[in-house]
Amino acid sequence: MPRLHLPVVAEVTGVIPAAGAVPADPLVDGFARRIRYLRVSVTDRCNYRCSYCMPESLGDQLVFEQRSAVLTFEEIERLVRLFARLGVRKIRLTGGEPTVRKGIVELAARVANVPGIEQVVMTSNGHLLGELAAPLAAAGVSAINISLDTLDAGRFRELTGRGDLARVLAGVDAAVAAGMRVKTNAVALAGVNDGELVALCEYAWTRGAVPRFIEHMPMSDGALYAPEAELPAAQIRRILEGALGALVPADRSGRDPGPARYWRFAADPASGREVGIISAMTEHFCDDCNRLRLTATGALHACLGHDDAISLRDVMRRGGSDDDVVRSIAAAVTGKRAGHAFDLDGTGGPRKHMIGIGG
C-alpha cells in the first residue's frame, strides 16, 4: 500500500504576514520572474482514480476536504479579481476534476468576466465534456487540456480505475466542435504507453489538437512513483523521431512560457504539426516560470515541486482586507524557489499530491 499523507490537499507551511506596507510589485519574484498565470484547483475530488495520481487501491486512505473547507465561488472570484489587479492575465481551472464541481459553468463565466483576465482555460479528464464543452466555451473557456494516456480502452480503464475511453474521445470531439483550442496530455510511462506515443500524436493531429507528453513526477512524497516507468524527454523524442523523422524546436515567440517545450518535424515544416513535452524531471523549465497555483482550499503554492504554501482562504475568512490578501500573495511570490527538486529515483519531490494542487 503506498504511504500517503492525508488529507490529500497539501498542508499550509507559510506564515501569513503581519500588517505592513503592500509591496510595489507583488507578482515579481526573487529571480525577476513576473507572474501572469494562476492555476486554480476548484475541487480535490475526481471521478477517475488514475494509478499514478489517486488510485482506487488507496481505499479509506483517500480523505477529501470538507465542503466548508473549499473556497466558495465568491472567494475564488475575489482572489481572481485581486490577482488580475496585480497583473495576472490567464487562469486555468483544474482539480481534482474541475467538471465535477457543481456550477462549474457559472464559475468559469464569473472568472472570465473579471476585468483584466484575458484567457480562461481548463485541464480536464474529458469524461463530462460531451455535455459540458459547449456551455464552458460559451462561458469563456477558450482552451482545454484533456488527459489521454492511451487509446486502448482496456488499458485506459486499468490506468484510470473508472475511466471510459469512449466518453473521453467524445469529450475531445465536443471540445473541438465547441471551438476550444485542444491539447491532449499523456503521462509517458515506460512499459505502459511508450508503444503508443506516435498513435497518440496522430490521434491529436487529425483533430487539430496538439499532443503533449508529461514526464512522470514523484508527487505524494514519491509514494506512487515507479522509477522503472520513467520515460525521459530525450527518450520520448527518440521514439517520435524513429517513426516520424527529426524534431526541431518550434518557434517560441508569441507563446506563453508554459511548462511544455514544443517540437515540430524538420521534414514537414508546412504541416504545423507540433508535439509538446513537459520534462519536469530531466530538463527543468523553471527559468521562465510565470505561474502560481491555488488549491481548492485556498492555499497558494508558488511551485509544484515544493511544499511551501500560504493560505489565502484563512486571510479572507479572518476578515482580512484586500491589502492583507495581497501581502500574503507577495509573501508566497517572494518565497518562490528557483526550480523543482525532483530526482529520478523518486526522492526530492514534494509531499503534496497532484490531486490537491491541480497538476
Binding site for ligand SAM (CB under 6 A): 46, 52-53, 94-95, 97, 123-125, 147, 185, 187, 214, 216-217, 219, 354-355, 358-359
CA distance 180 to 354: 25
Residue with cell 512522470: 216
Q: Measured from the CB atom, is 110 or 340 closer to ligand SAM?
A: 340
Question: Using an 8 Å Cβ cutoff, are 246 and 238 in contact?
Answer: no
Work out how close the CB of 141 gets to ligand SAM at its nearest, in angstroms, rounded to a whole number.
Answer: 14
Helix, strand, coil percent content, the chain, rounded in steps of 5: 35, 20, 50
Q: What is the dihedral of CA 341, 6, 96, 198, to 10 degrees?
A: 50
Residue nearest to ligand SAM (CB): 359
Q: Measured from the CB atom, is 132 or 355 closer to ligand SAM?
A: 355
Work out how close the CB of 132 gets to ligand SAM at its nearest, in angstroms, rounded to a whole number.
Answer: 13
Q: Measured from the CB atom, is 294 or 354 closer to ligand SAM?
A: 354
Q: Measured from the CB atom, is 147 or 311 closer to ligand SAM?
A: 147
Question: Using an 8 Å Cβ cutoff, are 282 and 233 in contact?
Answer: yes
Element containing residue 197 per DSSP (H, E): helix 197-205
- Strands annotated E in 217-290: 247-249, 261-265, 274-278
Strand order in the sheet with 141-147: 247-249, 261-265, 274-278, 210-215, 181-188, 141-147, 119-124, 90-94, 37-41, 291-294, 299-301, 309-311
Work out how close the CB of 355 gets to ligand SAM at its nearest, in angstroms, rounded to a whole number.
Answer: 6
Work out how close the CB of 97 gets to ligand SAM at its nearest, in angstroms, rounded to a whole number.
Answer: 4
- Angle at which helix 153-160 crosses helix 165-177, to 10 degrees, equals 100
Q: Measured from the CB atom, is 86 or 104 closer to ligand SAM?
A: 104
Q: Measured from the CB atom, is 14 or 356 closer to ligand SAM?
A: 356
Q: Measured from the CB atom, is 215 or 324 closer to ligand SAM?
A: 215
Per-residue cell: 118: 484575458
Work out how close the CB of 77 gets to ligand SAM at its nearest, in angstroms, rounded to a whole number.
Answer: 21
CA distance 277 to 267: 19
Work out how close the CB of 5 gets to ligand SAM at its nearest, in angstroms, rounded to a whole number.
Answer: 15
Work out how close the CB of 292 gets to ligand SAM at its nearest, in angstroms, rounded to a whole number.
Answer: 16
Work out how close the CB of 219 gets to ligand SAM at its nearest, in angstroms, rounded to a whole number.
Answer: 5
Q: Measured from the CB atom, is 16 or 344 closer to ligand SAM?
A: 344
Length in residues, the chain: 359
